[in-house]
């Protein structure tokens, strides 16, 4: 009887392990699909284009420029005005 109980416990552990493994695979697949979608999107390409023109600016400032006027070629700081 004890042997059978041990076998059942081991089977339950295997089910839990497979379930966790499936969850990790599902999360990984979703992450990969999301990253692929992000890197192939037009918005990302537009951001990279803006970033290439304003590489001296911080991420946040480049993002603001890209959101406000993606086709901008020149940017001046507040004190320059």
Q: What pLDDT is attached to residue 32?
A: 92
Q: What pLDDT is attached to residue 71?
A: 87
pLDDT at 62 > cutoff 70: yes
Q: What percent of the chain has pLDDT over 70?
A: 77
Angle between helices 2-40 and 42-53 (to 10 degrees): 60
The full length of the chain comes to 81
pLDDT at 1 > cutoff 60: no
Average pLDDT of the chain to the nearest whole number: 81
User: Is the CB of residue 64 less than 8 Å from the CB of residue 47?
Assistant: no
- Name residues whose C-beta falls within 8 Å of residue 63's C-beta, 6 or more positions apart in sequence: 47
**pLDDT of 17-56, one tens digit each?**
667 888 888 889 999 998 888 888 888 888 888 889 988 8
Q: Which two tokens stand for residue 66?
A: 């890209």
User: Is the CB of residue 54 less than 8 Å from the CB of residue 47?
Assistant: no
């Amino acid at each position: 009887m004890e042997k059978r109980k041990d076998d059942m416990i081991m089977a339950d552990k295997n089910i839990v392990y497979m379930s966790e493994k499936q969850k990790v695979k599902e999360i990984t697949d979703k992450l990969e699909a999301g990253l692929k979608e992000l890197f192939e999107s037009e918005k990302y390409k537009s951001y990279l284009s803006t970033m290439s023109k304003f590489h001296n600016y911080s991420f946040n400032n480049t993002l603001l420029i890209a959101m406000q006027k993606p086709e901008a070629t020149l940017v001046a700081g507040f004190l320059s005005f």
